Amino acid sequence: MKMEKTRNFSHSVLFWLKEPEDVVIRQKFESEAKKLIASSQYAHFSHFGTPAGTDRAVVDNSYTYSMIVTFESVDDHDKYQVEPAHVHFIEQCKELWSKVTIYDVLSL
């Protein structure tokens, strides 16, 4: 399926930290994530947080952090992927996580 480059784009990322109980590691991850969100020139909207802990069979609360970033276009998302703020975040935090799952969504 061919992507329409002008549709709004949502980038949802789930992170599982290697040591989710380590306060120092959590503080570093949170600080770097907040810096990324604050400094990205392409992110239109963002939401960063932890599992809500809702108790329903269909809800996955196993991840440590969630970051949802929206973009006004696929092109903005593609630029975000290589912008210095995003590259810096990955370099600073990639050793902290054991797993990352991403869901990219185009608006209808």
Structure tokens at 75: 């092109």
CATH number for region 9-106 = 3.30.70.100
CA separation for the pair 44, 87 (Å, rounded): 18
Q: Indicate if the pLDDT at residue 24 is higher than 60.
A: yes
Note whether 50 and 66 are within 8 A (CB). Answer: yes
- What's the whole-number mean pLDDT along residues 89-101? 98
Element (DSSP H or E) covering residue 90: helix 84-93
Write down the pTM of the prediction. Answer: 0.92
Residue 96 has a pLDDT of 99
Domains of the chain: which residue ranges? 9-106
